Amino acid sequence: MTGFLALIGRDLKLATRVGSDALTLVLFFVMVGVIVPFAIGPDSATLSRLAPGIIWIAAFLSMLLGLDRLFRADDEDGSLLLFRHAGLPLEMIVVAKVIAHWLLTALPLIVASPVLAILLAMDFPAWEKTVVSLLLGTPGLVALGTIGAAVTVSLKRGGLIAPVLIMPLSIPILIFGTGAIAEASPEGLSKAALLFLAAISLVTLVLAPFAAALALRLAED
């Protein structure tokens, strides 16, 4: 367990030092939201209707862009090789990576979401629902992302491939994520969507580390 926590601490420490791009991702997230009103016009009624979807797309894109950071640096400096022979199973190391990556990429987005909510003319209950659905959905996105990152880790120019692979697989998260906050859906239906979202996240959190660890092992030998 100490190794597990140390690994999370190491990733957080590395991300706060020079050369990290955690803040850039937040900037990207906010900018996607800023660009939309220019593209579809600043009519606040339209914007507030589209806002939950826009926030989800912005979060989706910035999470996918951040995927490459998951294992790339560890592969380049050789830590990945050490992880494979560590006392901690590789699956648990992937789980530690998921937690650290979620804290570094998803949590800042959720913290920054009020800014987008104001810019996109969202009202408070809609923003509240969006935050809940993001909190439930993003862990699943990160867990799925580890598979994409693990599959492409041995590619020198794998930056774009991982998002392309993971995007079709994560569409269910997007469907239930936005289904939970859609204004038109009745109360019971949005609750069911939230429960489904939580279920998808939990299942992928449990199963994805095994697939990712398998891919990491196979990529090296």
| Least separation in angstroms between CB 219 and other proteins | 5
Longest dimension (CA), the chain: 57
Q: Is 53 in the site for other proteins (CB under 8 A)?
A: no
Of 122 and 165, which has the nearer Cβ to other proteins? 165
Q: Is 192 in the site for other proteins (CB under 8 A)?
A: no
Q: Is 80 in the site for other proteins (CB under 8 A)?
A: no
Q: Which one of residues 103, 119, 161, 192 is an interface residue with other proteins (CB under 8 A)?
A: 161
Q: Is 88 in the site for other proteins (CB under 8 A)?
A: no
CA distances from 153 to 27, 121, 146, 183 (A): 25, 40, 10, 40
Q: Is 27 in the site for other proteins (CB under 8 A)?
A: no
Q: Is 157 in the site for other proteins (CB under 8 A)?
A: yes
- Residues in the site for other proteins, rule: CB under 8 A? 147, 151-152, 154-155, 157-158, 161, 164-165, 167-169, 171, 211, 214-215, 218-219
